[in-house]
Structure 1
Amino acid sequence: MKMKLSVAILAGAGILSSASVWAQDAQAVAEAQATTEPVAVVVTGVRRAAQSAQTIKKNADEVVDSIVAEEAGKFPDKNVAEILGRVTGVQIRRAGGEASDVIIRGLPGLTTLLNGREVYTSTNRNLHLADIPTTMLQRVDVYKTQGAEMVEGGTAGVIDVRTARPFDFKGFSASLVGRAENRDKADTTDPQVSGMISNRWKNDLGEFGALFGVSYQKGHYFDEVTWNSPPDNAVTNNTSKPNPAVTGPVDLGHSSTTGVRERYSANWAFQFKPSRDVELYAEGWSTRIDHDRESQFFLGNLGWGSTTQYTLFPGTNQVDTVTSSGNPFALSSNQTPRDDSETHQGAIGAKWTITPDLRVSTEFVRTTARWKQDMPIMEMLAHPTTIVGQTYVNGGARFDYPGYNMLDPNNYTLHNFIDNWQASGGQSKDWRADATYNNGEENFFREFSAGVRIAKRSARYQHESLNFLPAIPGLPAVSSLPGLTCPSQPFSNDYGMNQWLTVCGDYQHRNIDAVRKLYGRDGRTAPDPYSLYTNNEDTSALYGKTRFGFNAGPVPVEGTVGVRVVKTKLDVNGFTNVNDQPVAINKKSSDTDVLPNLTVKANLTDTLIGRFNAGKTIQRPAFGDFNPGISLGATADGSGIYGGSGGNPDLKPVVGKNADVALEWYFAPTGSLTATVFKHKFENYIIRTLELQTYNGKQYRMEHPHNVNEGQLKGIEIGYRQFYDFLPGWLGGFGMEANYTYMKGHFEDNGKRAPFQGMSKNAFNIVGLYERGSWSGRLAYNYRGRFVDTFNYRAIPAPIGPIDLIVDPIETVDASISYKINENMGITLDVENLTDRTYNDYHGIASNPRDVRRYDRVIGLTMRWKL
């Protein structure tokens, strides 16, 4: 009971919150608690991780779900984004060889923290979670509600990633992890290796701790896509007169993306306690990512005209099959981005227990980030005489060119060249100080805390101008340029033309200056003035918080009430278009937000807890969304419309008013059943919309962000965890984790209601677990229901449009099995994408598909050594 009371006190004080400067190792506290309670089996590995995560959730003030390392650096997935797909209320997407696009409760408005600190990637506000290898982690906390002491931001929630520190270990510790990863469609096996060494020791000056970790990851991948363009009524059948009742795509196509990503990461930490009341520390994290990829793209125009023959799906006016002759347009394009990015963060701080009841802390953090990309695109034209297509085959398009050899360079001619580049960077400095006073557990107000934070951040971005270089007379024959062409990556499924010739990606980069000269240009172009922007953002925040407690009859009640006041000053500099001339623009604004927060937790019984949390949060727009300039595309689509985008310097931050009610039953150290009902109301929610606009006599499909007046989201989360230790013999090794989330929400724009982009009404995970003796295993099923990807896709006018792009449900199955060779060594075999999932989306209705996408099945073999 004493241990339980101490944990509750720490949790109420915010010390178990990793967002607090006074964050301690809640896992260690949870494990200490575990040793005071009888259990049927030895608590190690998977059970210990589950028990620690459950204890963190139980003792926290906020609504939080955690994933804790089974041992130093051992998680069931290879990066943070992959892990989060198992958390209640969290959805992810997988593409480009890994998980990305993390959302909480159907919304993208989240904040990512690293050890409780704000961190970002270049001009983005959030850390790219896939950049953090799990070998560096101690745990990951997903906060659905926020305390006043937490860094503001995140109307959907906060993800706090915690790395290990030397004082987390009893003494010397070291680990080494090696992994080989095979991907079936990329047909590669890649290495990954990481290591960590940590030690703590004492001398006459005090206690010291030092930790250093490194990680290297390399991963090839292959994503294959076959697609249809949106439905159009420009359909003809042996006549030049369109039939307005019949719709079909103008183009069919394939796209295969091959890539290789290399990540170099390192983290370090130093801790020094000259006395039991004072601690000084310094820690940091760095990552570098080199990402080279090729999007081998093929567009097959259906050549609607007097020679076209087509059939319809029975009982509809939708085109099924098409045969067209007369030299239909056929384009091969290779988009070859080379990305290079770095992010570094360092922090120094101190903690001082002035008296047993008064603690203070301070910390200074500096973050820098940069990103650049070079992406030349070379196009070639093929010249077939006939195309045979089918618009809906296994969720995508199938087409072929009878009697035409798409792998013969003599059948191609050079077409346009697009010379793209872009670069961004940013830095921040922030300082904070906090104080906590313990007023005694016998009083109603048991603790008071307050703090201040000052942060300064800058961001900059630019991209090229005049990137489009059209084909000119006198271009050499494709077959006369040695090393120019390569066969595309073959598709793993039958969609007709399985391979075609594409410009080799390395050729474009290796010969970039020579290619530019072929098209009449010397060297790289200057930046587009409309793309240039520099943003400076200064924030100052002050918070106060108190922890209270009382007995409501036999029921102990505790909680917190606090408020955070944040002042934000924004200075945006860029260029706007005035009479087709760039004119410098400066936009300054200042906002003050008052963010109250209330938590109440009732210990209804020893195992049953009721919660109520309410608070106000804000989410600032992405820096790029403030850019007053516009970016105009250089190539038109089949309907003669160009693409373009721009920002909005008048954007306001999103305001969220959130309430959560939860009932949690902890019936065993690793057994729980929880349910949370939530409701969010939003003001100034930001959406991106497409509109047709005209510049210089050309029509552009322009994308802009803007605020909408109202939005709301409500739903319920249910979570279950249990190990069936009561079963006899080897059956006692089984366990299960399962969770389900139902969401319903909308925003209002110009009087019209629409669901949130990316929000699935239904999502759930079922994870079967096994741990007995030296063996452990996991079989995980993830389901994410249908959702809207894009509203008014491509701004298609009536009578066809507007059309929303909708994604079919996504199902993923992963599995792993581990064997502990001895106390120091273990081996794990895991499979991701066990069932070879597909990603399908469609234009409004399922029989008008856009894409079918397939990704690698990944098999990994990991060896772990620890000391």
Structure 2
Amino acid sequence: MKPQRFKRHLVAANVTLILSGIAAPVAMAQEVAADNVEVLEIRGIAASHKRNLNEKRFSEGVTDAITAEDIGKLPDVTISDTLQRIPGVQIRRSAGEGSTVNVRGMPQVTTLLNGEQLLSAGSITTVQPDFSDIPAPLVSAISVHKSPTANMLAGGISGTLNLQTLRPFNLEQGLTLNGVVEATRGSLSKENDHKLVAFAGYRGDDMGVMFTASYDTNTLANYRYGTILTSFDLQGEQTGDKRDFNGDGDNNDSYLSQRFHGMMDKQTERDRLGLSASFQASVTENLEFLADVFYTDMDDADRQQGLMIDNARGNIWAYSDNFIERAPGPLGGNIYTVNQAELLVRRVSSYSESLTNDRESTNINLQLNYQGDGPLSGSVRYLRGDAERSHTENVAHSYLTSGAQHAAFTNNTGVATPVNPNGYGPDPIKVDFDRTGKYITLGYDQGFGSDVSKYNLVSTYSENNFDEEATLDVLRADGTYEFEGDHLANVEFGLRWGKRDVERDTYILVAPMTGGQFTADVMWKDSSAALGDTNGDGEVNVSQGDLTIGNTNFFTDLPEGWVHKVDGFGPASGDSFYMINPEALDDPFAFQNALYPGNKRLSRPSRSFNIEEVTQTAYLQANFDGELAGIPYKANVGGKYIKTSLDIGQYIIGDGRPCSLCTAANSTGYEVLDRSYSDFLPAANITFNITDDFLLRAAYGKTMTSLNMSQLSGGISVGRTRAGDVLAAELGVSPDLLVAINGSRNGNPDLEPWRASNYNLSAEWYFDASSLVSVGLFKMDIESFIEKGQVMMALPDIDGVVRREVPVNTEINGEGGSIDGIELAYHQAFDFLPGVLGGFGTTVNLTYAPSDSANVDVYGAELPIQDNSERSANAILWYDRDGLQFRIAANYRSDRLDSLGFGVGEGVLPIWADDTLYVDMSASYDITENVSLYLQGSNITEEFENIYAQWEDNIVTQNVYERRWTFGVRGRL
């Protein structure tokens, strides 16, 4: 075996390789023979900090890492919370917990498990997993690879995340036991949650086995103020709101208003189970066998309840002396907003919703590693993944107001009645609106909503339900051939075959309804909605006597336990109102059948699909190790060829089904579309050891990320109309034939994947074993984005004959963009200080990453790439000495473009998320060598998120998260 460079750090390098799992099995085989590895126990913040720096220092490319301080103990509560400490990594939150991850501004990030593809139940149709369903104790380390290498699995546009688990040969000889018991309580939920973790491992001379189990329950509370459903109106002369907003004597100005306002109490309940097992054995002197199982199971319910105001088919009228002039308007005047006003609203409703998920996934890895006596080594690996997810949505929409101004029901007597005859009204309700304080507030007259007899459940439905499942099969072979001599150290090569099958069935719940001679299946069970043409006059019109569902469901008549009183909506409101308990909505069938018997599933073919993706990969990478002009260097140059084949099954959508008030339609056929594309992805990385402690790195690579399955497939809806004389003559058909004129497709199988070219240049100074100062420059040229647009397609007329191409609205590959940035990092352990001060250390990093896209705001100013924060930073102060450990961490993220609204002014209305600063802490004390107590606090300052439309004071939504405290006991043998 060829001697390795940088021998002074051989032990550190070996520790890094061993504890990183077999993310690159060939590299492990070539670098370190198992018999020569010194297994070290790494515990505590300081030791984990050194390991992180070693991982970065000896990596093949531009890499950052975070490692567990002990078995099953990442430094933060969730995997995403841990990842946000890495430069250039930004996270999104779900119920206050970290969930999805961006690297350098892009969410197209691939996650691997021990170097290979991970199939997660939270990412069956997507590339990036939702980390909320992966228990953190199963993971021992996380690497973030920001520059690609040829031997790394392709998938991340801006980076690749590698979750690493322990293996038995990482353990000391003999039996290892570890256990955790902890309790958590939130400042808003007031619930006592818990977590149990158990680890057992045994390592003998030639074999080892280990098992980890983690179970936790969490009740996460947060509140949403402002726009409950993100929707806006531009009120003005064109909408009939003929008012002089600015007192200039004309009505040509416009008022940008929110269509919905409210206060929502949101709680997420999660039960999470994770199991992992690993077996490792030396079959012969040269052959090692490895088997891993990684299992996750999470049941969760996202429940929300609150009071919502809107105008129900009209505008919310705002009266104020402080309309704010914003931008030129479409009628020659100006656009105005208001921050304090008296709102006159026609509908006030009590809204409850439950979204449930049942997620389960299993990933199995079987692997043989070969290290021969000669220059050849290699591995063969088979992976199997299975995942499934069941999702339900159930809504109860109740009125406090009568609805007399806009909604009525007609029962079998033919008498039109307000949908909520006992409700407030018919005069509009006055609501005081104010967003000038810390929180958005809505004020009602005293006593409003306190009488439970005023409430009526008017509308209920269950839609967007789906069952989805996926399988993953991977077979790969990797090899390394060593060379003796200068510069060329070895050549790595490999072949990989992977197949991923995804199936989704989307459905709604419908119940049979009968009115007169008319019978229909109904999804939107809304008291004011017509069942159909029940009087036989050829029209559907309630005012003309057509029957509606016609039910009243007063709160006082509902089953016991369905209705409860909610006292306040967090820190912004102390008002009390009555709500349908969202827990009663968890079972959609039971709830819907109790009101409208006979519910059944009705598939939505426009949202259902089957996709098979097959990838074939070959890579070749040359690794170099030597000196240039007396400067030691390491480099790798190579490329991988990937062929992707897709079989995309989707439905052709015809006319509406015999279903009143439904979003489903008939399927007139099923088609399987075949397509394939190929990519060659070159990659090159080089590292110069300018001195013993100073490194320069440069990297270049092309990256490609597959699209989300839901972006590739979905039903095609065909719009048709009577041909008429002119078109009939052109097509040679009858004037009465219904011909295709347009279409809509939920997904586009012709979309190209995300592609980018990445450039990296960095300098790293390791000025002692626990310290680093680094600066990195990066650039990403992104070929295209996915956006809404039109394509021309040949679609059939009503007789099934295709006669011409028509425009179809779908997703298309739009114009690309770029992200250029700089990352700065400083790590230091102050172990040179005297006494207790020597236990301190710090980590600080800053990222500046401006981006550009083809979109502009209302003034024509260029907008960035969505979800990218131009600035992000982390600051951590830690202490580790004499059994006492403490860490406080702050994470900052500047404004990010959350979404795009409708066209206003010179561009589109941008919806921004304001900057945030989250602060977390942890402390632990080793009572004995084997028993520790610890305390963790997440979001200890109760930071919350403001969402604003174009202007920073125009806050439209607030997401208020809670503080959570965790106390735990950890034991080990």
Whether TM-score is above 0.5 comes out as yes
Shift in Å, 1:80: 1.1
> What is the TM-score with the length of structure 2 in the denominator?
0.80
The aligned runs of 1:636-647 (5 Å cut-off) are: 646-647=746-747
Letter in 2 for 1:813: V
2:912 maps to 1:806: yes
- Cα gap change, 1:61 to 1:308, in 2 (>3 Å): closer
The aligned runs of 1:274-313 (5 Å cut-off) are: 274-301=283-310, 309-313=319-323
| Residue aligning to 1:148 | 150
Residue by residue, what CA displacement relative to the aligned partner does 1:343-386 show, whole Å, maximum 9, x if unpaired? 10111110111224211210100000000112211110012453
Contact 2:944 2:961 in 1 (8 A): yes
| Residue aligning to 2:187 | 184
2:253 aligns with one of 230, 245, 248: 245
| Residue aligning to 1:598 | 684
What SS does the aligned partner of 1:802 have? strand
2:394 maps to 1:376: yes
Letter in 2 for 1:507: A
Shift in Å, 1:306: 11
| Residue aligning to 2:76 | 77
Contact 2:304 2:582 in 1 (8 A): no
| Residue aligning to 2:363 | 345
Contact 1:335 1:375 in 2 (8 A): yes
Contact 1:16 1:23 in 2 (8 A): no
- Cα gap change, 1:511 to 1:138, in 2 (>3 Å): closer
| Residue aligning to 1:490 | 568
| Residue aligning to 1:639 | none
Shift in Å, 1:137: 2.2
Letter in 1 for 2:457: L
Which has more radius of gyration? 2
1:663 aligns with one of 758, 763, 776: 763
Q: Matched residues in 2 for 1:306 and 1:263: separation?
A: 43
What percent identity do the matched residue pairs reach?
23
Shift in Å, 1:846: 1.6
1:418 aligns with one of 432, 445, 461: 461
Contact 1:15 1:22 in 2 (8 A): no
Shift in Å, 1:253: 1.1
What SS does the aligned partner of 2:570 have? coil
2:340 maps to 1:321: yes
2:625 maps to 1:549: yes
Shift in Å, 1:67: 0.6
Shift in Å, 1:476: 3.3
Shift in Å, 1:324: 4.8
2:184 maps to 1:128: no
What SS does the aligned partner of 2:45 have? helix
Shift in Å, 1:445: 1.3
2:204 maps to 1:201: yes
Letter in 2 for 1:426: A
Residue by residue, what CA displacement relative to the aligned partner does 1:670-713 show, whole Å, maximum 9, x if unpaired? 1000111011112133346899xxxxxxxxxx995432233211
What SS does the aligned partner of 2:57 have? helix
Letter in 1 for 2:164: R
Contact 1:570 1:589 in 2 (8 A): yes
| Residue aligning to 1:697 | none
What SS does the aligned partner of 1:815 have? strand
Q: Matched residues in 2 for 1:183 and 1:93: separation?
A: 20
- Cα gap change, 1:361 to 1:684, in 2 (>3 Å): same
| Residue aligning to 1:104 | 103
Q: Matched residues in 2 for 1:338 and 1:731: separation?
A: 50
Q: Matched residues in 2 for 1:240 and 1:686: separation?
A: 36
Letter in 2 for 1:777: F
Letter in 2 for 1:735: G
Residue by residue, what CA displacement relative to the aligned partner does 1:581-619 show, whole Å, maximum 9, x if unpaired? 634232211111111111111110000011111111101
| Residue aligning to 1:833 | 939
Shift in Å, 1:3: 3.9
Letter in 2 for 1:831: G
- Cα gap change, 1:551 to 1:337, in 2 (>3 Å): same
1:334 aligns with one of 315, 329, 352: 352
2:650 maps to 1:574: yes
What SS does the aligned partner of 2:156 have? coil
In the alignment, structure 2 segments of 5+ residues that lack a partner are: 245-251, 327-335, 402-423, 511-522, 528-548, 657-665, 719-743, 792-807
Shift in Å, 1:843: 1.0
The aligned runs of 1:695-714 (5 Å cut-off) are: 705-714=811-820
| Residue aligning to 2:178 | 175
1:763 aligns with one of 865, 872, 881: 872
2:631 maps to 1:539: no
Contact 2:30 2:371 in 1 (8 A): no
| Residue aligning to 2:799 | none
Q: Matched residues in 1 for 2:62 and 2:108: separation?
A: 17
Contact 1:616 1:655 in 2 (8 A): yes
- Cα gap change, 1:11 to 1:646, in 2 (>3 Å): farther
The aligned runs of 1:777-816 (5 Å cut-off) are: 777-791=886-900, 793=901, 795=902, 797-798=903-904, 802-816=908-922
| Residue aligning to 1:406 | 449
Letter in 2 for 1:683: E
Letter in 2 for 1:562: G
What SS does the aligned partner of 1:648 have? coil
Q: Matched residues in 1 for 2:747 and 2:572: separation?
A: 41
What SS does the aligned partner of 2:934 have? strand
Q: Matched residues in 2 for 1:516 and 1:129: separation?
A: 35
Contact 2:39 2:171 in 1 (8 A): no
Shift in Å, 1:94: 2.4
What SS does the aligned partner of 1:739 have? strand
* Count of equivalent residues: 827
Contact 1:231 1:848 in 2 (8 A): no
- Cα gap change, 1:789 to 1:33, in 2 (>3 Å): farther
| Residue aligning to 1:390 | 433
Residue by residue, what CA displacement relative to the aligned partner does 1:260-281 show, whole Å, maximum 9, x if unpaired? 1010110000011033321011
Q: Matched residues in 1 for 2:779 and 2:443: separation?
A: 51
What SS does the aligned partner of 1:22 have? helix
Letter in 2 for 1:348: L
Shift in Å, 1:864: 0.5
Shift in Å, 1:331: 1.5
2:361 maps to 1:361: no
Q: RMSD value over aligned CA atoms?
A: 3.2
Letter in 2 for 1:446: A
Letter in 1 for 2:701: G
> What is the TM-score with the length of structure 1 in the denominator?
0.89
2:467 maps to 1:459: no
Q: Matched residues in 1 for 2:17 and 2:920: separation?
A: 38
| Residue aligning to 2:235 | 234
Letter in 2 for 1:387: K
Q: Matched residues in 1 for 2:318 and 2:289: separation?
A: 77
Shift in Å, 1:293: 2.4
- Cα gap change, 1:34 to 1:610, in 2 (>3 Å): farther
2:552 maps to 1:475: yes
| Residue aligning to 2:493 | 450
| Residue aligning to 2:271 | 262
Q: Matched residues in 2 for 1:623 and 1:814: separation?
A: 36
1:158 aligns with one of 138, 157, 160: 160
| Residue aligning to 1:638 | none
| Residue aligning to 1:649 | 749
Contact 1:267 1:285 in 2 (8 A): yes
| Residue aligning to 1:220 | 219
Q: Matched residues in 2 for 1:631 and 1:195: separation?
A: 52
Contact 1:269 1:282 in 2 (8 A): yes
Contact 2:828 2:841 in 1 (8 A): yes
Letter in 1 for 2:870: K
Contact 2:21 2:165 in 1 (8 A): no
